[in-house]
Every structure is written in C-alpha cells, then in structure tokens.
Amino acid sequence: MKTGTFLAVAASFAAQTIDAVSLPSTTPVAQRRDDSKPKVIGMDIERSSPKNPLHRDKLRRRGSVEVNLDNEETLYFINGTVGTPPRSLRLHLDTGSSDLWVNTPSSSLCSDSSAPCKYAGTYSANSSSTYQYIGSWFNISYVDGSGASGDYVSDTATFGDATLDRLQFGIGYSSNNAQGILGIGYPINEVQVGRAGMRPYNNLPAQMVAEGLIQSNAYSLWLNDLDANTGNILFGGVDTEKFVPPLYSLPVESEAGVYAEFMITLTKLTLGSNQIGGDLALAVLLDTGSSLTYLPDAMVQDIFNLVNAQYDSDSNAAYVPCSLANNETILLSFTFTSPTIEVEMNELVLDLVTSSGKRPVFSDGTEACLFGIAPAGEGTNVLGDTFLRSAYVVYDLENNEISMAATNFNSTRTRVEEIGKGEGGVPGATRVRDPVRATEGLHGPNSLGGISRGTRGVVGGGVAWVLVGVVGVLVMV
C-alpha cells in the first residue's frame, strides 16, 4: 500500500440497523437464505475527486458489517473510533498489509506546529480507561522506507455499529506517516509474526469473527468508478446488486505452502485486439493501498507503445493526453482463467494537478494526465485501484479464495447476503474449474523480513519534470 498527506474532509454519517428488503437505496440491506434477519451496519461518507495520485503513490504504497469508503486523492478510508472515551480516526484501508496502527499526538511528527495528524485523528493510550498494554515490539515498515514503531495495545474499537471489546493494534510513537493504516490482510502477514517471530493475533476481520459479529473471515469490496463519491466494504457479506454476474471464485496462491497475501493468477492481458505478454501464469497482488497497477516491465512497455505514453524513469510514471480518457473503444482486459475484467480508458487516465494548482501540458499545449499502469521492476506485480475499481472482489480468508466479477458502476440498488461459514459460503459464487496456477511472480514466505509488501509505487520526481517523448515535451510546474 501507499500513504500520503491529504486535506481534511469532515465526514458525517448515520448508522442504522435495517430489516431485509429489496428497494432502490444507497443504504445496504441484508438477508439470509432462511427466514432469519441478520443486522447490517450502513455508513454514508463523502469523498472528493482525485487530484494528484502521483503525489500519493510517491509518498507511500503499500451478521454483515458494512462500512462505506471515502476516496480522497484515490485513497480509500474507513472512519472508526478507538478507546474510552472514543477517539475518532480516519484510517487508510489496505488489503496489502495486516496491521491496524494509529498515531499518538505526542510523537515528534504529530506534535509539529503544522498539526499534520489532526485531520486523520490520533490515539492517546493513557487517556483511555479501557486501554491495555501488550508489548513494545510493534515496528512496521514499507518498501519505500516509511513506517511506524511503538507499542502493541488493545482497546475498544467501533466501526459503524460494530463494537469490538478488545481489538489489538499498534501505536506509532515514532512515525513518518500522518495517517494510520487499517490493514485487513492475512494475520500471518502481521509484523508481530514477521519481525517479532510471534504467533498471529486477531486483526479486525478475524476479531469480528471471534466476537460473533460475522460468520466467516471474509469481506467484499466495491470501490465504484473514478468519479464516484463513495464505495463500500462489507465484512461478512456480499451485495449482489454491486456486480454483474457471474461471480467466479479463484484460489489464492500460496507461497511455499503459506497463504500470506491476496495473490491470484493472471492468465491473459489484452489491450484492444493486442495480446500483451502472451499466455501468462503470473501471480498478481490485489492491493487497495496502490493507486496504480504495476506489471512486468516488458508488458508495460508494450502498453505504453500502444497508447503513446511518455515514461519518466525518475518518477516511475507515464503520461498521456487527457483526451485518451474519452476513448470508449479500447479496453484493457485482465483474464484469470475465468473471469475477464475489462478496464475502460476512463479508469486508467488519472487527472493530475501539480503543487502550483495547474495541470501539466505537453509542448503543443495538450493537457497531460497520469497513466494508471506502471512497471513493477523487481517488485511485486500489483493490481491496484486502477484495476480494482472495475472489479467487485470478495476476499475469503477462511477458504483462501478470491471471488470476482465485473463491477456494477454507480448502482443505486442494494441486496446484501451473508457469507456463510465453510466452503461455498460466498452467495452466488461459482468455483473456476481447473484454474491456472502461477509459475511467475511468487515470493518465498516472509521474504521481506517483516517489511510490508504493500508499500511501493511512484518514487522520486519533483515539482518540475521535462519529458521528451512521442507527443513532445511535458512540463510540470
């Protein structure tokens, strides 16, 4: 995943418990396949349109309970509280890591006169009557060098109407990220395991199961399109109105027999009528913490050639005329044995505003935008937000499966069904027969020694680049 510095957004919401019905609404409704009526928690949160995803990635990558998401500069957030009395937090949702951690107001970062942590919130252990100390081995870092260290603690936490009596998380007494992270990956990928050599603890989705709030350690993600104000995540549920059937289930790839990350196998990639990279068996990571999608360099170069993208090695990013977003005929199609997820150009061409408040232009005056595909180099191949917005994804940690379908953009209807326990628990999902297993792109378990693999992206750059390429000179000021 990646993190960044963002403007504060005041979020207000109303949470409520609703009986099962089917009607046009933005509020979720839940139903089981029997006569019982589970609860569902609904939250509506505003989010702004993305302005500078390059800046965001430059800084960092890396019953049914529903929490809507807030998108600020293509980051996705969940609002929650921790402690007694409760302290409000704005947490970056990250499927590419597994620890929840928060900043403390007394750290050198957060106590700066500019108050960089104020918009996302902080937590003071000594101010909470329900705080319990666990140990001082919390120490998370990411591939770009950012991270936090301090204590592991437990405390009361609330997300929507779901209150957990005792949730373990980290406190960043030393941190260079102004915003806390909500990692919801496999518990075995926690830094408590990778660095301290200890057993996993129950992170948020696992603790929801332990406290009986949901049946299965599984959740579904709907980011909606690039211009949408909200998306949602359903812990323990699937919203059948938010995807276009069929919904296919694929195995998560293990690494030396260990399930640690949401890696699945990409078998084919096409841009329009052009197949990219031939027949594939490539492991790719599904990561909400990445603004862009990162693929093998040779494949990315072929894509750049086909769309006339100008690549800048200093920023590890490519630029295209903004008008490319209006091309409705060319699709970038990702196949995973089954299904195929089609990504339109308007999801791959990202608006970019520099620190001066202006859009960059090519030498002929054409406005330039950031292209949503970048080379992975020697790092992990990642399907980030530029892919995930076009897919409805169910992360089933209990059965080590990913269920996926084409997203139903801007759906105003909702019909939530509970994910049951055991195999076949995802409603309406069909297991893919004879799925191709990955032969490339896998790493050994704990290969990063406790460094979260969900941290990579656009590094370097500056306030002014001059690029010479197919279209001309691009100047960013």
Which residues are annotated as catalytic?
94, 287
Q: Is the omega angle on the peptide bond into residue 205 within 30 degrees of 0, that is, cis? A: no
Q: Which residues partner with 319 through β-bridges?
A: 310, 370
Nearest to 264 by CA among 332, 189, 339: 339
Q: How far apart are CA 270 and CA 266, in angstroms?
A: 11
Q: How far apart are CA 321 and CA 366, in angstroms?
A: 6
Distances (CA, A) of 5 to 47, 57, 95, 140, 394: 15, 10, 20, 19, 29
User: How far is C-alpha 105 from the geometric centre of its chain's CA atoms?
Assistant: 26
SS (H, E, C) 26-77: CCCCEECCCCCCCCEECCCCCCCCCCCHHHHHHHCCCCEEEEEEEEECCEEE
> What's the angle, vertex CA 172, arms to CA 170 and CA 175, rounded to 5?
140
Q: How far apart are CA 287 and CA 291, in angstroms?
A: 9
> What's the angle, vertex CA 196, arms to CA 61 and CA 162, rounded to 5?
65
Helix (H, G, I), strand (E, B) or coil at 342: strand
What count of residues does the chain have? 477
Helix (H, G, I), strand (E, B) or coil at 247: strand
Helix (H, G, I), strand (E, B) or coil at 79: strand
Cα(first)–Cα(last) distance of the chain, in Å? 27
CB-CB contact of 91 with 180 (8 Å):
yes
> What's the angle, vertex CA 66, arms to CA 64 and CA 72, rounded to 5?
160
Encoding tokens for residue 177? 């990220």
Q: Which residues partner with 335 through β-bridges?
A: 268, 340
Nearest to 232 by CA among 23, 48, 96, 414: 414
CB-CB contact of 139 with 126 (8 Å):
no
Encoding tokens for residue 15? 């949470």
Residue 147 CB contacts under 8 Å (≥ 6 apart), including other chains: 139, 140, 141, 175, 176, 177
